[in-house]
Structure 1
């Protein structure tokens, strides 16, 4: 029995070691996969796009090269709304078709290659074409030479991709270079959604320097690289309905392609290649923000769910950042217009009431009171109403000339003045938290002008970037920085 028990122990240890040894490989496998970034879509979708490549590779959905176009560095991609007539000539590969088009003067005659699930066919716009095979009226996208002649036209369902055949160079879209390849999809308004597909590690090159200054300490940059990698992998398919994973703005992560890259941030990405943060064996969603103002927040006070590793922590490392303290002033009439534009119909705007403050001192509920009703806005939607760059965080107080209790809004100005004075005397010193006056649930702040005074910049979840900077300067490593801001995580 003792021998059997020893064998069981040996087997268990071996299996555990094997499982652990697979973790880096698992991380690398995830990091090596492609990610799709929406460059232009919805309101920014393009009526036509300009692309450049020394020689242009045409790839299928699985990234296999179908053919290469040589000799014309600049191209236009646009929807094709003309009736397409297929000629009675089919090719078995795209290169053969392209060579014939280029050598036979087909471009001058407006002949081009049409790609569909049926293969490669010679096509034209001309209704005088001989040997007409069939007509095509489906949604199509065309690639045109710099002279405006069609080279290929393809059915929107083909999902072709374009890349630079010289892998040492990049493809350009709208005069900006990108790694990987570019693809186009027609949206419901017949405009082009433009997507950049590339390996996640290459994507991070264009993210880290946009999210954190490249001059900062390399340990802070490494912490940023891992946070960005975790976010990217955790949020794959965020925009699945539009055909891509993430966008280029702060709604995902700010991404600027090759132009955004810097040797310092690229090095931070390379030196942390494949490294991810985990909580209980699962990839963690690492949120980050500019500056906490001195204290981070719990996830349920910003979004909806309580996440065990997104807990508020005291953050002295963020103190001294540019947005330790900020002010934002707005008039009563401007607030009234903001509410009307958001469809919040409460009549004439009378005042605002702070209904709930988190244990980390951020505003969770803010109610706007009108003469025909009131509306409550919660959490990050508060910043959304005023503008994220105006209301830099939800850690704020509201100062005005008048502070009135709900029952004090009466027509008698003398009684109102007495109430104002009494409230001021009772509350000016007793209701302060770290220098910020906070009102009870029944207090309505009324004024012609409202002054928001706050701390920090961003939602306050997870890693403060300025805090990471200070920690790195004080000698902390990237994993120590991450473990300080994200409780209970493992980094490997």
Structure 2
């Protein structure tokens, strides 16, 4: 073989060497819904693409799955949190979006208008918060390099892994801080999930978001409740003939308000929380001459993994597996290629 033939042979060999990994990591999703066959590369990373609608920029971007997860973890959890907590957040975020795509539950993105066409998720809490790398550079400033590395390491350590129950991705709900326990899913949402059960998270008392307090003018308090629920309320609701104006009728297993009577009307705790934009549905109402003082415990809906709880568990030496299996009962951590 001459020198020209040797060069051709070497070039052909390089094509084969480069081409094999490319074939191994191919992803067979359709452009329509993104829920195709997920194949894994040698590094265990899916070639799935996630299309995200950036609500402020009003445009859709397509990202590799793991790049998307980095943006979610950075948006949803402080980068200073313990690495095991960051890993738990990465697992929850990846499980959520994979389950969403496999079940083809993407039609709600259409609510954002024609500019969101083709997106799988938004960058809002309607799905999962997400932040672009450019926004992170601005947000983190001189800490960008360190924080970026911490988040990337957590995502890379869990690459290609999701949380499953009986072989299927779970609804990986998470929130900031509990009131000391998490909620059964059906006590806040409609659906009952066997893995979203009320569990102890009493260490959340150390979270800076554990206690909240807000004061509302009496008229504004009643108006917001009425506007949100459609139930008629007037200042007479506070004139109860010597009875307490606020009576808790029942509580959930997680210690939040299930039903409460305000004046002559009965409300769900979730209704009051959302009407008044409260941090939690574990609240106490106190009436003064001018205002209603609302004291809350916890931050978020309370279902699934407490983010501050996960961080505090990690600081006590718990691993990501222990954190996940505490907040999501009876689950396994599985690989996408399984």
**TM-score normalised per structure 2:** 0.72
- State the Cα distance separating 1:382 from its structure 2 match: 2.4
| Alignment check: 8 A CA contact 1:277 1:490 kept | yes
Could you say if the C-alpha distance between residues 212 and 272 of structure 1 is closer, same or farther in structure 2, counting changes exceeding 3 Å? same
Counterpart of 1:278 in structure 2 is 164
Q: Does structure 1 residue 392 correspond to structure 2 residue 286?
A: no
Give, in whole Å, the separation in 1 of the partners of 2:77 and 2:233: 44
Structure showing greater radius of gyration is 1
Q: Does structure 1 residue 358 correspond to structure 2 residue 244?
A: no
Question: Greater relative contact order: 1 or 2 (C-alpha under 8 angstroms, separation 6 or more)?
Answer: 2
Q: Does structure 1 residue 317 correspond to structure 2 residue 186?
A: no
| Alignment check: 8 A CA contact 1:290 1:458 kept | yes
Give the match's secondary structure for 2:300: coil
Could you say if the C-alpha distance between residues 330 and 486 of structure 1 is closer, same or farther in structure 2, counting changes exceeding 3 Å? same
1:352-407 CA-partner distances (Å, limit 9, x unpaired): 4433311221012234436xxx4x442433221011xxx11111222235xxxxxx
2:74 to 186, 193, 209: 209
| Alignment check: 8 A CA contact 2:229 2:271 kept | no
Which consecutive unaligned segments of at least 5 residues does structure 1 have? 1-24, 45-173, 175-192, 402-446
1:44-443 alignment runs, 5 A limit: 194-236=59-101, 237=106, 239-241=108-110, 243=117, 244-259=119-134, 260=136, 262-342=148-228, 344-349=230-235, 350-351=237-238, 352-369=246-263, 374=265, 376-387=266-277, 391-400=278-287
Could you say if the C-alpha distance between residues 223 and 28 of structure 1 is closer, same or farther in structure 2, counting changes exceeding 3 Å? farther
1:464-479 alignment runs, 5 A limit: 464-479=306-321
- State the Cα distance separating 1:26 from its structure 2 match: 6.0
Query: What is the root-mean-square deviation in Å for CA atoms of aligned residues?
Result: 2.4
| Alignment check: 8 A CA contact 2:211 2:295 kept | yes
**TM-score normalised per structure 1:** 0.50
| Alignment check: 8 A CA contact 2:225 2:276 kept | no
Give the match's secondary structure for 1:239: helix
Give, in whole Å, the separation in 2 of the partners of 1:377 and 1:38: 35
Q: Does structure 1 residue 463 correspond to structure 2 residue 286?
A: no
| Alignment check: 8 A CA contact 2:252 2:258 kept | yes
Counterpart of 1:116 in structure 2 is none
Which consecutive unaligned segments of at least 5 residues does structure 2 have? 1-36, 112-116, 138-147, 239-245
Give, in whole Å, the separation in 1 of the partners of 2:129 and 2:70: 11
- State the Cα distance separating 1:347 from its structure 2 match: 4.8
Give, in whole Å, the separation in 1 of the partners of 2:127 and 2:230: 28
Structure richer in helix, relative to its length:
2
Structure richer in strand, relative to its length:
1
Give the match's secondary structure for 2:161: coil
Give, in whole Å, the separation in 2 of the partners of 1:245 and 1:32: 15
| Alignment check: 8 A CA contact 1:291 1:457 kept | yes
| Alignment check: 8 A CA contact 2:175 2:304 kept | yes
Give the match's secondary structure for 1:32: coil
